[in-house]
Amino acid sequence: MAEERLVISDASPLIGLAAAHGFKLLRRLFSVVSVTPEVRGEVLADEKLPGAPQLRAALRARWIRVLRGKWPEPEFSRLGEGEASILRAVANLGGDTIVILDDEAVRREAVRLRIAVTGTLGILAVARRRSLIPAVRPHLARLVEHGFYFSQDFARELLRSVGEE
């Protein structure tokens, strides 16, 4: 069943899920996913990147939408423009929102602001628990092949939590 809340994704999870062959899980977990213009630009900047063709198709199909507001505040000057744009959008839109992002510094800032957060691996774990994928392990292997980093301890804990010890 799709969630009925504002879901905003950063570039890294879009790229990571595409690399892991799990991009469409977003649509199955959430009826609509939003991105800021800055995040859209980051993903579409290089058509060779995993995620670019998938995002372009999802935008055409309208299950990923670009937020249209302009929010200059709060500034978040220590963060990258894509991440900062997400936190500014949430700060200004409010409501029941979840952000999908991987960067640890940005996650800490989101938690400090009491914003619900998940990431690429969290999406894979939820998909496994809801039987949308048979296993997380192959997706993790594809992420590693594409240069994504996560600690082995974290990977073991994730696999244990979804019954793939």
Classify residue 1: in a domain, yes or no: no
Contact 67, 89 (CB under 8 A): yes
How does pLDDT run across 54-93, given as a tens digit for each residue?
999 999 999 999 998 888 778 887 888 899 999 999 988 8
Q: 39 near 56, Cβ under 8 Å?
A: no
Quickly state the pLDDT bin for 4 (edges 50, 70, 90).
low
List pLDDT tens digits, range 123-165.
999 999 999 999 999 999 999 999 998 888 999 999 999 999 8
pLDDT of residue 160: 95
Q: Judge contact between 135 and 128, C-beta under 8 A.
A: yes
Q: Smallest Cα–Cα separation from 164: which of 117, 128, 131?
A: 128
Amino acid letter, residue 33:
V
CA 123 to centroid of chain Cα atoms? 8
* Cα distance between residue 66 and residue 83, in whole Å: 14
Query: Around Cβ 9, how many Cβ atoms within 10 Å?
Result: 28
In a domain? residue 52: yes
Q: What's the confidence (pLDDT) of residue 2?
A: 46
Q: Alpha helices of the chain — where are they, by DSSP H? A: 11-19, 25-29, 37-44, 52-61, 81-93, 104-112, 120-129, 137-145, 152-161
Residue 92, SS3?
Answer: helix
Amino acid symbol at 22: G
CATH number where 59 lies: 3.40.50.1010
At 6-28, the pLDDT tens digits run 999 999 999 999 999 999 999 99
Whether 14 is covered by a domain: the verdict is: yes
Range of the domain at 45: 6-161
Residue 34 lies in a domain: yes
Could you give the number of structural domains in the chain? Answer: 1
